[in-house]
Amino acid sequence: MIETEYFKTRPDGVILLRTYSDKGNYIVQDQTGAKYSEAIDVQPLKYSYTETDEPIEEPEEATE
């Protein structure tokens, strides 16, 4: 499911919101088709997102 939560307030008072998939999947911005692991937008939100079935790939740890 898509979740949106408070992220932080910038020094100029603008509130930022974080949108992400609670399943750990990529999200797609409906207006542009861009794929994100998470999105940070200003309040009020101007964009909407759809959750994909594609899991976010974790980077492999380097082994030495």
In a domain, 60, yes or no: no
- For residue 21, the tally of other CB atoms under 10 A from its CB is 21
The total number of structural domains in the chain stands at 1
In a domain, 59, yes or no: no
Q: Write down the mean pLDDT value for the chain.
A: 94
* Residue in the structure block whose two tokens are 């990529």: 26
Cβ–Cβ < 8 Å for 41, 17: yes
pLDDT at site 11: 98
In a domain, 7, yes or no: yes
More confident residue, 64 or 56: 56
The parent domain of residue 32 ranges over: 2-53
Mean pLDDT (whole number) for 49-64 = 85
In a domain, 10, yes or no: yes
More confident residue, 45 or 39: 39
Mean pLDDT (whole number) for 30-55 = 96
Query: For residue 62, what pLDDT band results from cuts at 50, 70 and 90?
Result: low
Query: For residue 37, what pLDDT band results from cuts at 50, 70 and 90?
Result: very high
Cβ–Cβ < 8 Å for 38, 60: no
In a domain, 21, yes or no: yes
Q: Where are the alpha helices (DSSP H) in 1-64?
A: none
- Residue 48's contacts (CB-CB under 8 Å, 6 or more residues apart) are 29, 30, 31
